[in-house]
């Protein structure tokens, strides 16, 4: 069986992939994640997921490599990881009472076999109207500064939401496992 490599430094993706019970390694992709001028969030997520998988696969041509990326899409504008409290506060204020599409892309590449697969798992998230106090309490409690959209639905961030609409529930956390499993089976891996 080929080595499976997750081309990501995300602990969330690592935890999700671990659910499948497959042995895997982790390698950090070296990809410039700067959006191109006018690039829609869905295209940005797709491009970065594929670039990450290709970058790691170039260094490990016999391996099956997973690349993934998520971009929060607010009316066609990409929202990245906030990085700090001030930007997280601003993001949550902007998303309050609005619907945000979390564009989560996944790609699976194996250079030696020629396999290249890619898919997008959009997740529509409806945020409640949030008061300044609610935003502040949430950010102090969870500090989601490394998450696109400044909220962790798998934690306390679920309290900020009215609804989540998705056909691949783990996509919102950062790796759409239903789609990933499909691609891993196409790569010849046995899942489960």
Look up tokens 């798992």; give the residue.
121
User: With the C-alpha atoms ordered 69, 73, 79, 82, is the resulting torsion angle positive or negative?
Assistant: negative
Cα gap 147→80, rounded to integer Å: 8
Which tokens sit at 62? 């016999």
Verify whether residue 84 is a known catalytic residue. Answer: no
Name the active-site residue from 69, 73, 119, 168.
69
| Closest C-alpha among 46, 93, 94, 97 to residue 74 | 94
Question: Distance between CA atoms of 84 and 166, rounded to whole angstroms?
Answer: 28
Number of H helices, E strands in the chain: 5, 7
Residues with Cβ within 8 Å of residue 185, at least 6 apart in sequence: 191
Q: Which residues of 129-146 are buried (b: 16+ CB within 10 A; e: fewer)?
A: ebeeeebeebbeebebee
Residue 40 CB neighbours (<10 A): 16
Q: Which residues are catalytic?
A: 69
């Amino acid at each position: 069986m080929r080595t499976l490599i997750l081309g990501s430094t995300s602990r969330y993706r690592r935890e999700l992939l671990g659910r499948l019970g497959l042995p895997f390694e982790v390698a950090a992709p070296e990809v410039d994640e700067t959006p191109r001028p006018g690039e829609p969030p869905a295209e940005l997520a797709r491009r970065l997921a594929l670039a990450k998988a290709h970058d790691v696969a170039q260094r490990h041509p016999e391996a099956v490599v997973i690349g993934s990326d998520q971009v929060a899409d607010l009316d066609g504008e990409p929202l990245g990881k906030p990085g700090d409290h001030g930007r997280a506060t601003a993001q949550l204020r902007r998303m309050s009472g609005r619907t945000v599409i979390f564009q989560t892309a996944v790609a699976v590449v194996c250079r030696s076999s020629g396999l290249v697969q890619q898919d997008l798992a959009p997740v529509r998230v409806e945020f409640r109207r949030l008061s300044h106090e609610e935003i502040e309490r949430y950010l102090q409690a969870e500090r989601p500064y490394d998450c696109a959209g400044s909220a962790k639905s798998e934690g306390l961030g679920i309290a900020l939401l009215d609804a989540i609409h998705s056909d691949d529930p783990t996509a919102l956390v950062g790796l759409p496992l239903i789609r990933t499993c499909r691609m891993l089976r196409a790569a010849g891996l046995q899942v489960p």
